[in-house]
């Protein structure tokens, strides 16, 4: 018996969805600078250093979501309008300015992809706008926007370029920097995102099949406390710059700017990535080789006595159920573009409105019953969420 004609559109929609969610891997990056005000210049430089690293390894801007509450590039106190420097000394900055005046090709050579300025001057420069595309800036970078970005529940009319369109086979790198404390991270120095809010949002990402693996890196004071509730979130690897009661310290105070230009943890992370990539280039004999080091090697490097003395803090690592062993997890899996990235069709993000049945099926698959046994935490007020629209699908989230 032939199916009725009114079923054809539904069958076509199911077929299209299955094609879009084929087993193709891809990499997405979310970079967040939560601080504002000029004296937090280094936090924006931290974020741009990671941005430069992932761009250098082939990830396109279409797959990078950059959020920055700080707009230091155009601050009237910036002696280099439109530019951000993440290292080094005032002497290098002055040399760079002289080259800029005398060399017409300086703007081209200072591209974050080519990295010529980095090699010649030991200096990382970013021209804004131009080299960097910021998706959420100023007041648009807030707790609500960040949690909506993770969960895919954007206000109507949000541009696709401002959405994390990852899928069930995506590897996601989430880097965050700013001011924090015991189980919270500050946005704009006036609102906070709790560790429970972060865990709930990442848990929803997993249930909505928005990632396969997620690497979370946080550079802030008492950063490890943001992972207090991540045990309930599968396939998470969390690297923190400091432990409970420790601070994340600044580095390289610049007298030309009158403040520090980078944090110590991000500075060492950036150096490790660059040296690993250079050794890979020398070994393979090609110009643009990916980082060959594993996450395990990065953590071991950060925990060396000399590095710990430099950082003045303890680098932590935490993994949840389903995460790969650190020795088998290459940094290039998250900082570099997957081989099939250019051919990946756009993945439709779940809006949470019609996926109760799918999520219950996933809950049964990963938790062993139709009702999820992983009890999600509440925030410090005893509520499910204080920063975005609460979402509970049936008995899925056992609170």
Catalytic residue positions, numbered: 179, 221
Which DSSP helix (H) or strand (E) runs through 101? Answer: helix 90-102
Q: Which residues pair with 263 in a beta bridge?
A: 250
Question: Following CA atoms 348, 350, 354, 360 in sequence, which dihedral angle do they give, to the nearest 10 degrees?
Answer: 120
Q: Are 170 and 25 in contact (CB under 8 A)?
A: yes
Q: Which residues pair with 175 in a beta bridge?
A: 31, 217
Phi, psi of 315 (to 5 degrees): -75, 130
What is residue 241's three-state secondary structure?
A: coil
- Could you tell me which residues come within 8 angstroms of residue 247 by beta carbon, excluding any fewer than 6 positions away? 221, 222, 312, 313
Give the length of the chain. Answer: 399
What is residue 346's three-state secondary structure?
A: coil
Distances (CA, A) of 384 to 7, 124, 325, 327, 377: 39, 42, 31, 35, 7
Q: How far apart are CA 374 and CA 397, in angstroms?
A: 8
């Amino acid at each position: 018996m032939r199916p009725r004609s009114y079923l054809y559109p539904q069958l076509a929609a199911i077929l299209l969805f299955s094609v879009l969610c084929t087993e193709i891997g891809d990499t997405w990056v979310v970079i967040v600078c939560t601080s504002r005000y000029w004296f937090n210049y280094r936090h924006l430089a931290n974020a741009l250093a990671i941005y430069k690293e992932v761009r250098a390894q082939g990830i396109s801007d279409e797959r990078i979501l950059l959020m920055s509450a700080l707009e230091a590039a155009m601050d009237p106190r910036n002696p280099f309008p439109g530019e951000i420097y993440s290292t080094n000394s005032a002497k290098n900055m002055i040399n760079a300015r002289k080259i800029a005046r005398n060399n017409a090709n300086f703007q081209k050579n200072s591209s974050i992809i080519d990295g010529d300025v980095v090699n010649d001057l030991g200096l990382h420069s970013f021209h804004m706008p131009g080299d960097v595309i910021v998706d959420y800036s100023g007041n648009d970078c807030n707790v609500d926007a960040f949690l909506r970005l993770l969960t895919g529940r954007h206000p109507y009319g949000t541009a696709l370029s401002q959405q994390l369109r990852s899928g069930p086979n995506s590897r996601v790198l989430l880097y965050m920097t700013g001011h924090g404390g015991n189980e919270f991270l500050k946005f704009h120095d006036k609102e906070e995102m709790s560790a429970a809010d972060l865990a709930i949002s990442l848990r929803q990402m997993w249930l909505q099949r928005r990632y396969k693996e997620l690497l979370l890196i946080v550079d802030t004071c008492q950063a490890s406390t943001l992972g207090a509730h991540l045990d309930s979130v599968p396939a998470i690897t969390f690297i923190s710059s400091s432990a409970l009661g420790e601070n994340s310290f600044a580095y390289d105070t610049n007298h030309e700017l009158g403040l520090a230009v980078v944090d110590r943890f991000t500075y060492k992370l950036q150096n490790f990535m660059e040296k690993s990539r250079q050794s890979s280039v020398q070994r393979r004999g090609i110009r643009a080789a990916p980082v060959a080091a594993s996450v395990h090697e990065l953590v071991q490097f950060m925990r060396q006595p000399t590095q710990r003395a430099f950082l003045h803090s303890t680098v932590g690592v935490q993994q949840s159920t389903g995460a790969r062993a650190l020795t088998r997890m290459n940094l290039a899996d998250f900082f570099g573009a997957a081989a099939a990235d250019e051919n990946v069709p756009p993945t439709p993000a779940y809006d949470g409105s019609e996926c109760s049945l799918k999520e219950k099926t996933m809950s049964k698959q990963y938790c062993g019953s139709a009702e999820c046994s992983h009890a999600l935490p509440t925030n410090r007020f005893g509520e499910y969420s204080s920063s975005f629209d609460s979402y509970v699908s049936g008995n899925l989230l056992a609170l």
